[in-house]
Chain A
Protein backbone atom coordinates (compact mmCIF):
# COMPACT_ATOMS: atom_id res chain seq x y z
CA UNK A 1 0.00 0.00 0.00
CA UNK A 2 1.82 3.09 -1.22
CA UNK A 3 0.86 6.44 0.21
CA UNK A 4 -2.33 7.71 -1.37
CA UNK A 5 -1.89 11.40 -1.99
CA UNK A 6 -4.92 13.50 -2.67
CA UNK A 7 -5.15 16.16 -5.36
CA UNK A 8 -3.81 18.92 -3.14
CA UNK A 9 -0.71 16.93 -2.42
CA UNK A 10 -1.56 16.42 1.19
CA UNK A 11 -1.80 13.00 2.78
CA UNK A 12 -5.27 12.20 4.02
CA UNK A 13 -6.02 11.81 7.69
CA UNK A 14 -6.39 8.05 7.26
CA UNK A 15 -3.02 7.86 5.64
CA UNK A 16 -1.42 9.94 8.38
CA UNK A 17 -2.75 7.48 10.88
CA UNK A 18 -1.37 4.58 8.90
CA UNK A 19 2.08 6.10 8.67
CA UNK A 20 1.90 6.84 12.37
CA UNK A 21 0.98 3.22 12.97
CA UNK A 22 3.87 1.87 10.99
CA UNK A 23 6.44 4.14 12.56
CA UNK A 24 9.44 2.59 14.21
CA UNK A 25 9.15 -0.86 12.65
CA UNK A 26 12.84 -1.44 13.29
CA UNK A 27 12.05 -1.49 17.00
CA UNK A 28 9.68 -4.37 16.38
CA UNK A 29 12.38 -6.33 14.56
CA UNK A 30 14.80 -5.69 17.42
CA UNK A 31 12.29 -7.00 19.93
CA UNK A 32 11.92 -10.22 17.99
CA UNK A 33 15.65 -10.78 17.71
CA UNK A 34 16.40 -12.69 20.95
CA UNK A 35 13.57 -15.17 20.46
CA UNK A 36 14.50 -15.54 16.82
CA UNK A 37 18.14 -16.31 17.57
CA UNK A 38 17.21 -18.93 20.16
CA UNK A 39 14.75 -20.61 17.84
CA UNK A 40 17.16 -20.57 14.91
CA UNK A 41 19.98 -22.14 16.92
CA UNK A 42 18.03 -24.71 18.92
CA UNK A 43 15.21 -25.56 16.50
CA UNK A 44 16.34 -24.87 12.96
CA UNK A 45 20.02 -25.83 13.13
CA UNK A 46 19.07 -29.32 14.42
CA UNK A 47 16.82 -29.64 11.36
CA UNK A 48 19.96 -29.28 9.24
CA UNK A 49 21.51 -31.99 11.37
CA UNK A 50 18.94 -34.38 9.95
CA UNK A 51 21.30 -34.98 7.01
CA UNK A 52 22.96 -37.47 9.35
CA UNK A 53 20.08 -39.80 8.58
CA UNK A 54 21.44 -40.16 5.03
CA UNK A 55 25.06 -40.63 6.10
CA UNK A 56 27.21 -42.95 8.10
CA UNK A 57 27.98 -40.16 10.48
CA UNK A 58 31.41 -40.24 12.04
CA UNK A 59 31.95 -37.63 14.76
CA UNK A 60 35.55 -36.93 13.71
CA UNK A 61 34.51 -36.37 10.07
CA UNK A 62 31.43 -34.19 10.71
CA UNK A 63 28.45 -33.66 8.41
CA UNK A 64 30.57 -32.41 5.55
CA UNK A 65 32.86 -35.40 5.15
CA UNK A 66 30.89 -38.36 6.47
CA UNK A 67 30.11 -40.88 3.73
CA UNK A 68 26.66 -40.73 2.15
CA UNK A 69 24.59 -43.89 2.27
CA UNK A 70 21.26 -42.68 0.90
CA UNK A 71 18.22 -44.44 2.28
CA UNK A 72 20.09 -47.38 3.74
CA UNK A 73 19.19 -46.59 7.37
CA UNK A 74 15.52 -46.35 6.48
CA UNK A 75 15.67 -49.76 4.81
CA UNK A 76 17.39 -51.19 7.87
CA UNK A 77 14.62 -49.79 10.00
CA UNK A 78 11.91 -51.64 8.13
CA UNK A 79 13.94 -54.84 8.08
CA UNK A 80 14.74 -54.86 11.78
CA UNK A 81 12.27 -56.92 13.72
CA UNK A 82 12.65 -54.68 16.78
CA UNK A 83 12.12 -51.44 14.86
CA UNK A 84 8.88 -52.75 13.40
CA UNK A 85 7.83 -53.87 16.85
CA UNK A 86 8.61 -50.42 18.21
CA UNK A 87 6.48 -48.68 15.58
CA UNK A 88 3.62 -51.08 16.30
CA UNK A 89 3.91 -50.50 20.08
CA UNK A 90 3.84 -46.75 19.53
CA UNK A 91 0.70 -46.93 17.41
CA UNK A 92 -1.15 -49.24 19.81
CA UNK A 93 -0.29 -47.27 22.94
CA UNK A 94 -0.99 -43.84 21.49
CA UNK A 95 -4.24 -44.88 19.80
CA UNK A 96 -5.54 -46.24 23.08
CA UNK A 97 -4.42 -43.07 24.84
CA UNK A 98 -6.12 -40.82 22.28
CA UNK A 99 -9.42 -42.69 22.59
CA UNK A 100 -9.46 -42.78 26.38
CA UNK A 101 -8.06 -39.27 26.84
CA UNK A 102 -10.96 -38.00 24.76
CA UNK A 103 -13.75 -40.19 26.10
CA UNK A 104 -12.99 -40.22 29.81
CA UNK A 105 -12.60 -36.43 30.26
CA UNK A 106 -15.73 -35.86 28.19
CA UNK A 107 -17.75 -38.23 30.36
CA UNK A 108 -16.17 -36.71 33.43
CA UNK A 109 -17.10 -33.19 32.33
CA UNK A 110 -20.70 -34.27 31.70
CA UNK A 111 -20.91 -35.80 35.17
CA UNK A 112 -19.39 -32.73 36.81
CA UNK A 113 -21.87 -30.58 34.92
CA UNK A 114 -24.70 -32.31 36.78
CA UNK A 115 -23.33 -31.21 40.13
CA UNK A 116 -25.12 -28.16 41.52
CA UNK A 117 -23.32 -28.01 44.86
CA UNK A 118 -20.58 -25.58 43.87
CA UNK A 119 -18.30 -26.33 46.80
CA UNK A 120 -18.29 -30.06 46.00
CA UNK A 121 -17.75 -29.39 42.32
CA UNK A 122 -14.80 -27.11 42.94
CA UNK A 123 -13.18 -29.48 45.43
CA UNK A 124 -13.40 -32.38 42.98
CA UNK A 125 -11.97 -30.21 40.19
CA UNK A 126 -9.07 -29.00 42.31
CA UNK A 127 -8.13 -32.54 43.24
CA UNK A 128 -8.35 -34.09 39.77
CA UNK A 129 -6.32 -31.32 38.10
CA UNK A 130 -3.46 -31.97 40.49
CA UNK A 131 -1.74 -35.04 38.99
CA UNK A 132 -1.15 -33.09 35.76
CA UNK A 133 1.34 -30.91 37.60
CA UNK A 134 3.39 -33.79 38.97
CA UNK A 135 6.15 -35.06 36.73
CA UNK A 136 6.49 -38.61 35.51
CA UNK A 137 9.63 -38.91 37.63
CA UNK A 138 7.58 -38.35 40.75
CA UNK A 139 4.65 -40.42 39.55
CA UNK A 140 7.03 -43.08 38.25
CA UNK A 141 8.65 -43.30 41.67
CA UNK A 142 5.25 -43.60 43.33
CA UNK A 143 3.89 -46.12 40.83
CA UNK A 144 6.93 -48.36 40.91
CA UNK A 145 6.53 -48.57 44.67
CA UNK A 146 2.74 -49.03 44.58
CA UNK A 147 2.70 -51.61 41.77
CA UNK A 148 5.60 -53.67 43.06
CA UNK A 149 4.86 -57.41 43.19
CA UNK A 150 6.70 -57.59 46.50
CA UNK A 151 4.24 -55.93 48.81
CA UNK A 152 3.21 -52.91 46.70
CA UNK A 153 -0.04 -51.53 48.01
CA UNK A 154 -2.01 -52.49 44.89
CA UNK A 155 -0.99 -56.12 45.12
CA UNK A 156 -1.67 -56.14 48.85
CA UNK A 157 -5.17 -54.85 48.10
CA UNK A 158 -5.68 -57.50 45.41
CA UNK A 159 -4.49 -60.27 47.70
CA UNK A 160 -7.52 -59.55 49.89
CA UNK A 161 -9.54 -61.01 47.01
CA UNK A 162 -7.14 -63.91 46.67
CA UNK A 163 -5.38 -62.57 43.56
CA UNK A 164 -1.77 -63.70 43.14
CA UNK A 165 0.78 -60.85 43.04
CA UNK A 166 1.03 -59.32 39.56
CA UNK A 167 4.27 -57.76 38.29
CA UNK A 168 2.42 -54.92 36.53
CA UNK A 169 5.52 -53.12 35.25
CA UNK A 170 7.43 -56.25 34.31
CA UNK A 171 4.73 -58.22 32.56
CA UNK A 172 4.16 -57.80 28.83
CA UNK A 173 0.47 -58.66 29.24
CA UNK A 174 -0.01 -55.81 31.68
CA UNK A 175 2.39 -53.07 30.71
CA UNK A 176 0.31 -51.29 28.06
CA UNK A 177 -2.77 -51.34 30.23
CA UNK A 178 -0.81 -49.75 33.06
CA UNK A 179 0.62 -47.12 30.71
CA UNK A 180 -2.79 -46.14 29.33
CA UNK A 181 -4.59 -46.21 32.67
CA UNK A 182 -1.96 -44.16 34.49
CA UNK A 183 -1.81 -41.62 31.67
CA UNK A 184 -5.58 -41.16 31.70
CA UNK A 185 -5.39 -40.90 35.47
CA UNK A 186 -2.76 -38.15 35.26
CA UNK A 187 -4.31 -36.09 32.49
CA UNK A 188 -8.05 -36.67 32.84
CA UNK A 189 -8.71 -33.68 35.06
CA UNK A 190 -6.69 -31.32 32.98
CA UNK A 191 -8.25 -32.45 29.71
CA UNK A 192 -11.66 -31.87 31.28
CA UNK A 193 -11.12 -28.11 31.54
CA UNK A 194 -11.73 -27.42 27.89
CA UNK A 195 -14.92 -29.52 27.82
CA UNK A 196 -16.24 -27.78 30.94
CA UNK A 197 -15.65 -24.42 29.32
CA UNK A 198 -17.56 -25.57 26.25
CA UNK A 199 -20.42 -26.83 28.43
CA UNK A 200 -20.90 -23.45 30.09
CA UNK A 201 -21.15 -21.75 26.72
CA UNK A 202 -24.18 -23.76 25.56
CA UNK A 203 -27.21 -21.52 25.22
CA UNK A 204 -29.53 -22.18 28.23
CA UNK A 205 -32.65 -21.42 26.18
CA UNK A 206 -32.06 -24.67 24.28
CA UNK A 207 -32.48 -26.62 27.52
CA UNK A 208 -35.50 -24.56 28.52
CA UNK A 209 -37.18 -25.32 25.23
CA UNK A 210 -36.40 -29.01 25.66
CA UNK A 211 -37.81 -29.04 29.19
CA UNK A 212 -41.03 -27.45 27.93
CA UNK A 213 -41.16 -30.28 25.41
CA UNK A 214 -40.88 -32.72 28.30
CA UNK A 215 -37.33 -33.96 27.71
CA UNK A 216 -35.64 -35.58 30.67
CA UNK A 217 -31.98 -34.94 31.53
CA UNK A 218 -30.77 -37.94 29.56
CA UNK A 219 -32.62 -36.82 26.43
CA UNK A 220 -31.28 -33.30 26.90
CA UNK A 221 -27.77 -34.70 27.00
CA UNK A 222 -28.26 -36.75 23.84
CA UNK A 223 -30.08 -34.13 21.78
CA UNK A 224 -28.62 -30.84 23.04
CA UNK A 225 -25.42 -31.23 25.04
CA UNK A 226 -23.56 -33.69 22.83
CA UNK A 227 -24.42 -32.02 19.50
CA UNK A 228 -23.39 -28.65 20.98
CA UNK A 229 -20.12 -30.17 22.11
CA UNK A 230 -19.37 -31.69 18.73
CA UNK A 231 -17.11 -28.88 17.45
CA UNK A 232 -14.85 -28.98 20.51
CA UNK A 233 -14.78 -32.79 20.42
CA UNK A 234 -13.70 -32.60 16.78
CA UNK A 235 -11.00 -30.04 17.59
CA UNK A 236 -9.54 -32.06 20.45
CA UNK A 237 -9.79 -35.29 18.46
CA UNK A 238 -8.24 -34.03 15.23
CA UNK A 239 -5.46 -32.17 17.01
CA UNK A 240 -4.51 -35.26 18.96
CA UNK A 241 -4.08 -37.03 15.63
CA UNK A 242 -0.70 -35.32 15.36
CA UNK A 243 0.38 -37.09 18.52
CA UNK A 244 -0.15 -40.57 17.21
CA UNK A 245 3.59 -41.22 17.11
CA UNK A 246 4.10 -39.65 20.55
CA UNK A 247 3.13 -42.42 22.90
CA UNK A 248 4.64 -40.64 25.92
CA UNK A 249 8.43 -40.62 26.17
CA UNK A 250 8.60 -39.29 29.74
CA UNK A 251 6.11 -41.76 31.04
CA UNK A 252 7.50 -44.85 29.33
CA UNK A 253 11.11 -44.08 30.15
CA UNK A 254 10.17 -43.79 33.82
CA UNK A 255 8.05 -46.90 33.95
CA UNK A 256 9.62 -49.47 31.67
CA UNK A 257 12.53 -51.87 31.97
CA UNK A 258 14.10 -54.45 29.65
CA UNK A 259 11.47 -57.02 30.63
CA UNK A 260 8.75 -55.10 28.80
CA UNK A 261 10.64 -53.77 25.77
CA UNK A 262 8.56 -56.11 23.67
CA UNK A 263 5.28 -54.30 24.35
CA UNK A 264 6.44 -51.04 25.84
CA UNK A 265 9.39 -49.76 23.79
CA UNK A 266 8.22 -46.82 21.66
CA UNK A 267 9.91 -44.84 18.88
CA UNK A 268 11.22 -42.10 21.18
CA UNK A 269 12.65 -44.43 23.81
CA UNK A 270 14.14 -46.58 21.04
CA UNK A 271 15.83 -43.53 19.46
CA UNK A 272 17.24 -42.59 22.85
CA UNK A 273 18.62 -46.06 23.51
CA UNK A 274 20.02 -46.64 20.05
CA UNK A 275 21.20 -43.09 19.45
CA UNK A 276 22.52 -41.67 22.68
CA UNK A 277 23.19 -44.79 24.72
CA UNK A 278 24.64 -46.97 21.93
CA UNK A 279 26.03 -44.05 19.94
CA UNK A 280 24.46 -45.12 16.64
CA UNK A 281 23.78 -41.49 15.64
CA UNK A 282 22.82 -41.97 12.00
CA UNK A 283 20.41 -44.86 12.43
CA UNK A 284 18.70 -43.17 15.41
CA UNK A 285 18.40 -39.93 13.44
CA UNK A 286 16.81 -41.82 10.55
CA UNK A 287 14.22 -43.35 12.88
CA UNK A 288 13.63 -39.92 14.41
CA UNK A 289 13.27 -38.32 10.99
CA UNK A 290 10.77 -40.96 9.94
CA UNK A 291 8.76 -40.07 13.03
CA UNK A 292 9.03 -36.32 12.51
CA UNK A 293 7.87 -36.49 8.88
CA UNK A 294 4.85 -38.68 9.61
CA UNK A 295 3.98 -36.50 12.62
CA UNK A 296 4.28 -33.36 10.51
CA UNK A 297 1.85 -34.72 7.94
CA UNK A 298 -0.57 -35.76 10.66
CA UNK A 299 -0.38 -32.46 12.53
CA UNK A 300 -1.05 -30.46 9.39
CA UNK A 301 -3.90 -32.79 8.43
CA UNK A 302 -5.27 -32.47 11.96
CA UNK A 303 -5.23 -28.66 11.84
CA UNK A 304 -6.86 -28.71 8.42
CA UNK A 305 -9.66 -31.00 9.58
CA UNK A 306 -10.16 -28.97 12.76
CA UNK A 307 -10.44 -25.84 10.66
CA UNK A 308 -12.74 -27.40 8.12
CA UNK A 309 -15.17 -29.08 10.51
CA UNK A 310 -15.00 -26.84 13.57
CA UNK A 311 -13.60 -23.58 12.25
CA UNK A 312 -10.63 -23.81 14.62
CA UNK A 313 -7.66 -21.54 14.08
CA UNK A 314 -4.48 -21.75 16.08
CA UNK A 315 -3.58 -18.08 15.63
Chain B
Protein backbone atom coordinates (compact mmCIF):
# COMPACT_ATOMS: atom_id res chain seq x y z
CA UNK B 1 0.00 0.00 0.00
CA UNK B 2 2.03 2.94 -1.24
CA UNK B 3 0.67 6.40 -1.76
CA UNK B 4 2.34 9.32 -3.41
CA UNK B 5 2.76 11.23 -0.15
CA UNK B 6 4.95 8.38 1.07
CA UNK B 7 7.47 9.24 -1.64
CA UNK B 8 7.87 12.84 -0.50
CA UNK B 9 11.15 13.78 1.17
CA UNK B 10 9.51 15.04 4.34
CA UNK B 11 7.64 11.78 4.83
CA UNK B 12 10.83 9.79 4.31
CA UNK B 13 12.60 11.95 6.89
CA UNK B 14 9.69 11.44 9.24
CA UNK B 15 9.88 7.66 8.73
CA UNK B 16 13.53 7.59 9.70
CA UNK B 17 12.85 9.76 12.72
CA UNK B 18 9.83 7.62 13.67
CA UNK B 19 11.64 4.28 13.55
CA UNK B 20 14.54 5.72 15.52
CA UNK B 21 12.28 7.19 18.18
CA UNK B 22 10.24 4.00 18.57
CA UNK B 23 13.42 1.97 18.86
CA UNK B 24 14.70 4.29 21.57
CA UNK B 25 11.41 4.04 23.48
CA UNK B 26 11.44 0.24 23.28
CA UNK B 27 15.05 0.11 24.43
CA UNK B 28 14.24 2.42 27.36
CA UNK B 29 11.57 -0.04 28.48
CA UNK B 30 14.06 -2.90 28.54
CA UNK B 31 17.21 -1.20 29.88
CA UNK B 32 16.26 -1.23 33.58
CA UNK B 33 15.62 -4.97 33.44
CA UNK B 34 18.84 -5.65 31.58
CA UNK B 35 20.77 -3.56 34.09
CA UNK B 36 19.32 -5.39 37.08
CA UNK B 37 20.01 -8.71 35.36
CA UNK B 38 23.62 -7.67 34.77
CA UNK B 39 24.03 -6.67 38.43
CA UNK B 40 22.58 -9.97 39.62
CA UNK B 41 25.20 -11.95 37.66
CA UNK B 42 28.09 -9.72 38.69
CA UNK B 43 30.63 -10.16 41.42
CA UNK B 44 29.66 -8.46 44.64
CA UNK B 45 32.78 -6.27 44.69
CA UNK B 46 32.20 -5.03 41.15
CA UNK B 47 28.58 -4.21 41.94
CA UNK B 48 29.47 -2.28 45.08
CA UNK B 49 32.12 -0.34 43.18
CA UNK B 50 29.47 0.63 40.58
CA UNK B 51 31.25 -0.98 37.70
CA UNK B 52 28.25 -2.79 36.26
CA UNK B 53 26.39 -1.32 33.30
CA UNK B 54 24.45 -3.53 30.95
CA UNK B 55 26.80 -6.48 31.03
CA UNK B 56 27.85 -8.56 34.08
CA UNK B 57 31.31 -7.87 35.52
CA UNK B 58 33.13 -10.84 37.10
CA UNK B 59 30.33 -13.21 36.12
CA UNK B 60 29.14 -15.40 38.98
CA UNK B 61 25.99 -17.22 40.11
CA UNK B 62 26.81 -16.39 43.72
CA UNK B 63 23.81 -14.11 44.21
CA UNK B 64 21.40 -16.75 42.95
CA UNK B 65 22.91 -19.39 45.19
CA UNK B 66 22.50 -17.13 48.21
CA UNK B 67 18.92 -16.32 47.20
CA UNK B 68 17.87 -19.90 46.59
CA UNK B 69 19.59 -20.91 49.80
CA UNK B 70 17.60 -18.41 51.81
CA UNK B 71 14.82 -20.10 53.74
CA UNK B 72 12.65 -16.99 54.03
CA UNK B 73 12.84 -16.40 50.31
CA UNK B 74 11.84 -19.94 49.44
CA UNK B 75 8.96 -19.94 51.87
CA UNK B 76 7.61 -16.68 50.49
CA UNK B 77 7.93 -18.10 46.98
CA UNK B 78 5.80 -21.04 48.05
CA UNK B 79 3.26 -18.72 49.69
CA UNK B 80 3.00 -16.75 46.46
CA UNK B 81 2.55 -19.89 44.40
CA UNK B 82 -0.23 -21.07 46.69
CA UNK B 83 -1.83 -17.66 46.62
CA UNK B 84 -1.81 -17.43 42.84
CA UNK B 85 -3.29 -20.89 42.33
CA UNK B 86 -5.95 -20.76 45.05
CA UNK B 87 -6.73 -17.11 44.46
CA UNK B 88 -7.22 -17.51 40.73
CA UNK B 89 -9.30 -20.67 40.99
CA UNK B 90 -11.60 -19.25 43.64
CA UNK B 91 -11.90 -15.86 42.03
CA UNK B 92 -12.65 -17.26 38.58
CA UNK B 93 -15.07 -19.85 39.95
CA UNK B 94 -17.08 -17.29 41.85
CA UNK B 95 -17.04 -14.70 39.06
CA UNK B 96 -17.97 -17.12 36.28
CA UNK B 97 -20.90 -18.40 38.31
CA UNK B 98 -22.06 -14.83 38.82
CA UNK B 99 -21.46 -13.76 35.23
CA UNK B 100 -23.82 -16.40 33.87
CA UNK B 101 -27.03 -15.10 35.48
CA UNK B 102 -25.93 -11.50 34.92
CA UNK B 103 -25.61 -12.17 31.20
CA UNK B 104 -29.31 -13.08 30.92
CA UNK B 105 -31.78 -10.62 29.47
CA UNK B 106 -33.80 -8.50 31.91
CA UNK B 107 -36.78 -10.42 30.63
CA UNK B 108 -35.42 -13.86 31.47
CA UNK B 109 -34.00 -12.88 34.86
CA UNK B 110 -35.89 -10.20 36.70
CA UNK B 111 -33.35 -9.60 39.48
CA UNK B 112 -30.55 -8.93 37.05
CA UNK B 113 -30.50 -5.14 37.21
CA UNK B 114 -30.40 -5.01 40.99
CA UNK B 115 -27.60 -7.59 41.21
CA UNK B 116 -25.64 -5.78 38.54
CA UNK B 117 -25.85 -2.56 40.48
CA UNK B 118 -24.74 -4.23 43.70
CA UNK B 119 -21.53 -5.26 41.93
CA UNK B 120 -21.01 -2.09 39.92
CA UNK B 121 -21.44 0.10 42.99
CA UNK B 122 -18.27 -1.43 44.44
CA UNK B 123 -16.39 0.19 41.57
CA UNK B 124 -17.75 3.58 42.50
CA UNK B 125 -17.50 3.67 46.27
CA UNK B 126 -15.24 2.02 48.82
CA UNK B 127 -15.18 1.70 52.58
CA UNK B 128 -11.51 2.54 52.37
CA UNK B 129 -8.39 1.15 53.95
CA UNK B 130 -9.10 1.33 57.68
CA UNK B 131 -12.66 -0.12 57.75
CA UNK B 132 -11.68 -2.92 55.34
CA UNK B 133 -8.67 -3.73 57.48
CA UNK B 134 -10.90 -3.93 60.55
CA UNK B 135 -13.40 -6.27 58.87
CA UNK B 136 -10.63 -8.66 57.80
CA UNK B 137 -9.11 -8.52 61.28
CA UNK B 138 -12.43 -9.03 63.07
CA UNK B 139 -13.15 -12.10 60.94
CA UNK B 140 -9.91 -13.61 62.23
CA UNK B 141 -8.41 -13.87 58.77
CA UNK B 142 -5.09 -12.29 59.67
CA UNK B 143 -2.11 -14.57 59.24
CA UNK B 144 -4.12 -16.86 56.99
CA UNK B 145 -3.99 -16.98 53.21
CA UNK B 146 -7.73 -16.18 53.08
CA UNK B 147 -7.01 -12.56 53.97
CA UNK B 148 -5.21 -12.31 50.64
CA UNK B 149 -7.70 -14.32 48.58
CA UNK B 150 -11.23 -13.50 49.69
CA UNK B 151 -11.38 -9.68 49.89
CA UNK B 152 -10.31 -9.15 46.25
CA UNK B 153 -12.06 -12.30 44.91
CA UNK B 154 -14.82 -10.45 43.06
CA UNK B 155 -13.52 -7.74 40.79
CA UNK B 156 -16.45 -5.81 39.36
CA UNK B 157 -14.40 -4.81 36.36
CA UNK B 158 -13.46 -8.38 35.43
CA UNK B 159 -17.01 -9.48 36.13
CA UNK B 160 -18.32 -6.97 33.59
CA UNK B 161 -15.82 -8.24 31.01
CA UNK B 162 -17.08 -11.80 31.56
CA UNK B 163 -20.73 -10.75 31.37
CA UNK B 164 -20.11 -8.88 28.13
CA UNK B 165 -18.29 -11.86 26.71
CA UNK B 166 -21.12 -14.24 27.61
CA UNK B 167 -23.63 -11.86 26.06
CA UNK B 168 -21.85 -11.39 22.78
CA UNK B 169 -20.25 -14.78 22.16
CA UNK B 170 -22.74 -17.43 23.18
CA UNK B 171 -25.26 -18.18 20.42
CA UNK B 172 -28.71 -17.65 21.86
CA UNK B 173 -30.22 -20.32 19.63
CA UNK B 174 -27.93 -22.95 21.14
CA UNK B 175 -29.06 -21.96 24.59
CA UNK B 176 -32.76 -21.96 23.69
CA UNK B 177 -32.47 -25.38 22.08
CA UNK B 178 -30.91 -26.71 25.27
CA UNK B 179 -33.69 -25.12 27.33
CA UNK B 180 -36.32 -26.77 25.13
CA UNK B 181 -34.58 -30.08 25.67
CA UNK B 182 -35.08 -29.55 29.38
CA UNK B 183 -31.52 -28.65 30.40
CA UNK B 184 -31.34 -26.59 33.56
CA UNK B 185 -29.15 -23.50 34.03
CA UNK B 186 -26.32 -25.33 35.74
CA UNK B 187 -26.06 -27.67 32.80
CA UNK B 188 -26.23 -24.87 30.21
CA UNK B 189 -23.55 -22.97 32.09
CA UNK B 190 -21.29 -25.99 32.30
CA UNK B 191 -21.85 -27.53 28.86
CA UNK B 192 -22.38 -24.46 26.68
CA UNK B 193 -21.10 -21.26 28.26
CA UNK B 194 -17.81 -22.44 29.73
CA UNK B 195 -16.48 -24.29 26.66
CA UNK B 196 -17.30 -21.36 24.38
CA UNK B 197 -15.65 -18.85 26.69
CA UNK B 198 -12.19 -20.35 26.95
CA UNK B 199 -10.43 -17.28 25.45
CA UNK B 200 -12.17 -14.89 27.85
CA UNK B 201 -11.51 -17.19 30.78
CA UNK B 202 -7.84 -17.38 29.81
CA UNK B 203 -7.55 -13.58 29.58
CA UNK B 204 -9.20 -12.82 32.88
CA UNK B 205 -7.44 -15.68 34.67
CA UNK B 206 -4.23 -14.11 33.50
CA UNK B 207 -5.21 -10.72 34.87
CA UNK B 208 -6.10 -12.37 38.17
CA UNK B 209 -2.84 -14.31 38.33
CA UNK B 210 -0.80 -11.19 37.62
CA UNK B 211 -2.74 -9.36 40.29
CA UNK B 212 -2.08 -12.02 42.91
CA UNK B 213 1.57 -12.46 42.01
CA UNK B 214 2.21 -8.72 42.21
CA UNK B 215 0.14 -7.86 45.30
CA UNK B 216 2.19 -7.04 48.34
CA UNK B 217 0.34 -4.49 50.47
CA UNK B 218 -2.30 -6.88 51.83
CA UNK B 219 0.48 -9.27 52.82
CA UNK B 220 2.16 -6.44 54.66
CA UNK B 221 -0.88 -5.40 56.69
CA UNK B 222 -2.61 -8.75 57.27
CA UNK B 223 0.39 -10.95 58.03
CA UNK B 224 2.09 -10.34 61.34
CA UNK B 225 4.58 -13.16 60.85
CA UNK B 226 7.11 -13.03 58.04
CA UNK B 227 6.53 -16.77 57.56
CA UNK B 228 3.23 -15.96 55.85
CA UNK B 229 4.53 -13.25 53.55
CA UNK B 230 4.04 -13.75 49.83
CA UNK B 231 7.12 -13.08 47.74
CA UNK B 232 6.13 -9.52 46.77
CA UNK B 233 5.66 -8.53 50.40
CA UNK B 234 8.91 -10.20 51.39
CA UNK B 235 10.77 -8.29 48.69
CA UNK B 236 9.07 -5.04 49.59
CA UNK B 237 10.24 -5.27 53.18
CA UNK B 238 13.84 -6.20 52.44
CA UNK B 239 14.49 -4.29 49.23
CA UNK B 240 12.32 -1.21 49.34
CA UNK B 241 11.72 -0.67 53.05
CA UNK B 242 14.96 -2.32 54.10
CA UNK B 243 13.20 -3.45 57.23
CA UNK B 244 14.78 -6.54 58.74
CA UNK B 245 13.18 -6.18 62.15
CA UNK B 246 10.55 -8.85 61.55
CA UNK B 247 13.14 -11.41 60.61
CA UNK B 248 15.08 -12.91 63.44
CA UNK B 249 18.19 -13.46 61.41
CA UNK B 250 21.86 -13.69 62.19
CA UNK B 251 24.36 -11.10 60.97
CA UNK B 252 25.54 -13.33 58.14
CA UNK B 253 22.08 -13.74 56.59
CA UNK B 254 21.43 -10.05 57.06
CA UNK B 255 24.61 -9.16 55.23
CA UNK B 256 23.72 -11.56 52.43
CA UNK B 257 20.19 -10.24 52.04
CA UNK B 258 21.24 -6.63 51.82
CA UNK B 259 23.96 -7.22 49.23
CA UNK B 260 23.27 -5.38 46.02
CA UNK B 261 23.75 -8.39 43.76
CA UNK B 262 21.47 -10.54 45.92
CA UNK B 263 18.76 -7.87 45.82
CA UNK B 264 19.07 -7.76 42.06
CA UNK B 265 18.79 -11.54 41.85
CA UNK B 266 15.67 -11.52 44.02
CA UNK B 267 14.08 -8.78 41.93
CA UNK B 268 14.81 -10.71 38.79
CA UNK B 269 13.44 -13.98 40.14
CA UNK B 270 10.25 -12.18 41.17
CA UNK B 271 9.90 -10.69 37.69
CA UNK B 272 10.70 -13.96 35.92
CA UNK B 273 7.24 -15.61 35.91
CA UNK B 274 5.80 -12.46 34.33
CA UNK B 275 8.54 -12.40 31.72
CA UNK B 276 7.92 -16.05 30.83
CA UNK B 277 4.13 -16.05 30.77
CA UNK B 278 3.74 -12.66 29.16
CA UNK B 279 4.71 -13.19 25.49
CA UNK B 280 2.37 -16.17 25.16
CA UNK B 281 -0.68 -14.40 26.42
CA UNK B 282 -0.14 -11.03 24.82
CA UNK B 283 -2.64 -11.60 22.04
CA UNK B 284 -5.22 -12.68 24.58
CA UNK B 285 -5.05 -9.60 26.74
CA UNK B 286 -5.10 -7.21 23.80
CA UNK B 287 -8.39 -8.81 22.80
CA UNK B 288 -9.59 -8.65 26.38
CA UNK B 289 -8.85 -4.95 26.72
CA UNK B 290 -10.49 -4.07 23.44
CA UNK B 291 -13.47 -6.17 24.42
CA UNK B 292 -13.72 -4.14 27.60
CA UNK B 293 -13.36 -0.84 25.81
CA UNK B 294 -15.99 -1.01 23.09
CA UNK B 295 -19.31 -2.56 23.82
CA UNK B 296 -22.78 -2.80 22.36
Contacts and interface: CB of A to CB of B under 8 A. Distances in A.
B150 A42 contact: yes
Interface string B94-135: 110110111011011111000110111011111111111111
A38 B136 CA distance: 12
B198 interface: no
Interface residues of B, number: 111
Interface string A16-52: 0110111111011101101110110111111111101
A43 B109 contact: no
Nearest to B273: A133
A145 interface: yes
A43 B127 contact: yes
B150 A18 contact: no
A70 interface: no
Contacts of A141: 36, 235, 239-240, 263, 266-267
B184 interface: yes
A115 to B, nearest CB: 7
7 contacts: A28-B104, A31-B100, A43-B126, A46-B126, A135-B213, A138-B267, A146-B32
B44 to A, nearest CB: 14
A111 interface: yes
B25 A289 contact: no
A21 B110 CA distance: 11
A39 B93 CA distance: 14
Interface of B: 1, 3-6, 8, 10-11, 14-15, 18-19, 21-23, 25-26, 28-30, 32-33, 35-36, 39, 49-50, 53, 93-95, 97-98, 100-102, 104-105, 107-111, 115-116, 118-120, 122-136, 139, 150-154, 159-160, 163-164, 176, 179-180, 184-186, 189, 210, 213-217, 221, 232, 235-236, 239-240, 260, 263-264, 266-267, 270-271, 274-275, 278-279, 282, 286, 289-290, 293-296
Interface in A199-215: 211, 215
Contacts of B111: 25, 28-29
A192 B260 CA distance: 34
Interface residues on A, range: 35 or more
